[in-house]
Chains A and B, each alone.
Chain A
Amino acid sequence: MNRIKAIFSKQNRALLSELVRTDFKLRYQGSILGYAWSLLRPLMLFIILYIVFVKVLKSGGNIPHFPIYLLLGIVIWNFFTEMTVQSLGSIVGRGDLIRKIRIPRWIIVFSSSISALINLFLNLLVVAVFMAINKVDIYRTILLLPLVLVEVYIFALGLSLFLSAAFVKFRDISYIWEVVLQAGFYLTPILYSLAIIPKVIYQKILLLNPMAQAIQDARWVTVTHETLTIHKLFAGGWYAYIPFILVIVFLIGGLAYFKSQANSFAENI
């Protein structure tokens, strides 16, 4: 209990908020529109996606509110990508601090994760605006959306801790992770509907990936109950819990690896 208290001590909270603040100040430094870009950027990307997938390719099939369905998937995936990529380089990128001052190492990874979270919420705001325009009926299940996002965050945090620590020793990690993310993007039903996968067994395998499961669940609670989720697919079998178990395993593994490496960051960077 005391250790938890120490983790969230006043100093650590102050440092965390200052690092996040700095990150945000620097992000749009020198641009005329400044912070407005954090909303404008997703907005413009969404418009492009909308034109390409909904108007040109018409890949929605018979999914209701497909534009929103698509957007939500992309927003969650982008959050996952942003958080892991930024965390991956965070320890090495902050080498100046690590070599010269004694601060808890995890704060650095944590601060990049918070920056990504803030961006996620700004993106979700934009999604909400589109939902209103698209006249999506609001389900009561939308209250479960935070739970799904927490799952994605924990998954990304476990990976971030592992990646950031491993990157200190092995600089190949960034290239490997880039490839993994690219593959993951297509293995996750983001741009396409899971229903177009011909065999149910393949659908099941794809949904074991926590990201696929989370994105489908997020769509189910927010956009349409016609989304194919892991619960529907496995019909209550225990296999349906595999993605959640994976999330926990990645978190514990990431934490353990980070902890074992943290003391030697200063000399290895």
Chain B
Amino acid sequence: MDDVAIKVDHVSKTFKLPHEKSTSVKGVLINKFTGGNRGYERQEVLKDVSFEIKKGEFFGIVGRNGSGKSTLLKMLAGIYEPTRGSIQVKGNLTPFIELGVGFNQELTGRENVFLNGALLGFGRHDIAKMYDEIVAFAELGRFMDQKLKNYSSGMQVRLAFSIAVKAQTEILLIDEVLAVGDAAFQKKCFDYFMQLKRDKKTVILVTHDMGAARIYCDKGIMIEKGEIVKAGQIEDVAQAYQRMFNEEMAKVEGVQDGDADRWGTGKLQAVAASAKADANRIKVVVTYEAAVDTDAPVFGFNVYNSRGMNLLEGNTLREKINTKPLKKGNRTTIHWEFPNVLASDTYTVSVSACNGSISEFYDWLNNADTFVVSREGNTAAIVDPPIEATLKKA
């Protein structure tokens, strides 16, 4: 129990939604008169949700819009109270769920830094000390004495983010801030998140970007219709999430698939896959067959170790390999080859195919093949490349 940062115990949240906006005394009197809450509809946004987040974990909460993930985050932040159940938090926790809370358009950038800082719990002296750093991080030196309404939205976000990173609480809540700012600022955000990860901070990231989830998170949960539908390693959660979208698409297309290791719309499927490793190279060969005519697809593969960690992945989009459209019944074979630096273990390979914009997965096949790497000597590390060392006399 000592290493648990947050324990969410059978939490439910119900909102009373008025049928029509009747926030008036008359409305209430009428309701009382006609017998109770006739004007209300109860909506259960979260149903009996339980999970634990350990100290030092980068925890992802994924789910689509309206799934209840933001309500959950608001309850973690202490903005909403659970209707039933309890949330125990060990350590102090970011109080905000959005960047730039309380920003006032009529105040200057400088004034907003102090106001926002006070909302995050800093006194004027604390902020005065951090002020230069905040401005430098936001790269807004010239603009600080201008009113916020003259800032672009990107500038506002940069300022907000720069203040927020100063709020050094033990547990951080972050809600989809990755998709803002230009490339250079995103790099800063990325570095900041990586720093948090290295520092073993407890971070809760709410997102529907599976790329971000996979990069940062260790574990996670997926929420759908107010319930946890998947919990565990982030790779499993992210796959479940993508699978959900594909299954919905499959329902529309009428394709069924009973294989637990396989999901996708089935327009293009792997019919044969093999993975082989020698001491220096790893080769993965996959043959696909098209069930219908398809545009130029994207092929990919992932390699997992025996602990289920996603060690490396490749796809034709990233490697800038042009694929060709396939006619129904056509087959194509792709050969992947890359240096073998892996440590001794048994590895599994999953292979995949999706459309050009990666919005539809045609096929995802887990455990397509396995291979074994065995080397001399043991290592606890994931990779085990040849290492040379020379000693020189000083």
Residues of A within 8 A of B (CB): 10-11, 13-15, 17-19, 21-22, 25-26, 29, 96-103, 169-172, 263-264, 266-267
Instruction: Across the interface, name the chain A residue whose C-beta is closest to B98.
Output: A100
Chain A residues within 8 Å of B79, by CB: 98-102, 266
23 residue pairs of the A-B complex, CB under 8 angstroms, read A10-B123, A11-B121, A11-B122, A14-B118, A14-B122, A14-B123, A15-B118, A17-B118, A18-B117, A21-B115, A26-B107, A29-B106, A96-B101, A97-B119, A101-B95, A101-B119, A102-B95, A103-B119, A169-B28, A170-B23, A266-B79, A266-B80, A267-B80
Q: Are B104 and A18 in contact (CB under 8 A)?
A: no
- Give the one of A13, A22, A29, A101 with max B CB within 10 A: A101
**Number of A-B pairs whose CB atoms are under 8 Å?**
79
Interface centre among B81, B119, B121 (most CB of A within 10 A): B119
Q: Give a binary string over B14-33; 1 marks a CB under 8 Å from any A CB, 0 the rest.
A: 01000000011110100000
Contact with A along B97-141 (1 / 0, CB 8 A): 110011010110001001101110111100000000000000000
Using a CB–CB distance below 8 Å, which chain B residues touch chain A? Answer: 15, 23-26, 28, 74, 77-81, 95-98, 101-102, 104, 106-107, 111, 114-115, 117-119, 121-124
A8 CB → nearest B CB, Å: 13
Since A13-B123, A15-B118, A103-B119 are in contact, a sample of 19 more A-B pairs with Cβ atoms closer than 8 Å, ordered by chain A residue number, is: A11-B123, A17-B118, A18-B115, A18-B119, A18-B124, A19-B118, A26-B104, A96-B101, A97-B119, A100-B79, A100-B101, A101-B95, A101-B101, A102-B79, A170-B25, A171-B23, A172-B24, A172-B26, A267-B15
User: Do B115 and A22 touch across chains, with their CB atoms under 8 A apart?
Assistant: yes
B106 pairs with A26, CB closer than 8 A? yes
A100→B102 CA distance, assembly (Å): 9
Contact across chains for A100 and B106 when beta carbons are under 8 A apart? no
Q: From DSSP, what is the main secondary structure of chain A's interface residues?
A: helix
When distances are taken between beta carbons in the complex, the residues of chain A under 8 Å from B28 are 169-170
- Complexed CA–CA distance, A169 and B98 (Å): 25
A10 CA to B24 CA, complexed, in Å? 38
A264/B81 in contact, CB under 8 A? yes
Residues of B within 8 A of A96 (CB): 101-102
- Which secondary structure dominates where chain B touches chain A? loop
Question: B77 and A102: CB pair below 8 A?
Answer: yes
Tell whether, in the assembled complex, residue A15 and residue B119 are in contact, meaning their CB atoms are under 8 Å apart: yes
Q: Are B102 and A266 in contact (CB under 8 A)?
A: no
Q: How many angstroms from the CA of A267 to the CA of B81 in the assembled complex?
A: 9
Tell whether A266 pairs with B23 under 8 Å between CB atoms, given A26-B104, A100-B97, A103-B119: no
Q: Tell which of A14, A26, A29, A169 touches B124, judged by Cβ atoms closer than 8 Å.
A: A14
The complex places the Cα of A169 from the Cα of B22 at a distance, in Å, of 9
Contact of B118 among A18, A26, A102, A264 (CB under 8 A): A18
Complex CA–CA separation, A21 to B95 (angstroms):
22
B99 nearest in chain A by CB position = A100
A103, B95: Cβ atoms under 8 Å? yes
Residues of A within 8 A of B24 (CB): 170-172
The residues of B that contact A19 with a CB separation of less than 8 Å are 115, 118
CB closest chain-B residue, reference A14:
B123
Minimum C-beta distance from A192 to chain B (A): 33
A104 to B96, CA, bound (A): 13
Smallest beta-carbon distance B164→chain A, Å: 11
- Least CB distance from A102 to B in Å reads 4
Residues on B with beta carbons closer than 8 Å to the beta carbon of A29: 106
CA gap between A21 and B101 in the complex, in Å: 17
Q: How far is the CA of A19 from the CA of B79 in the complex (A)?
A: 19
Shortest Cβ gap from A65 to chain B (Å): 42
List residues of chain A with CB within 8 A of the CB of B111. 22, 25
Bound-complex Cα distance A19 to B119 (A): 9
Please, how many angstroms separate the alpha-carbon atoms of A172 and B26 in the complex?
A: 9
Q: How far is the CA of A25 from the CA of B104 in the complex (A)?
A: 11
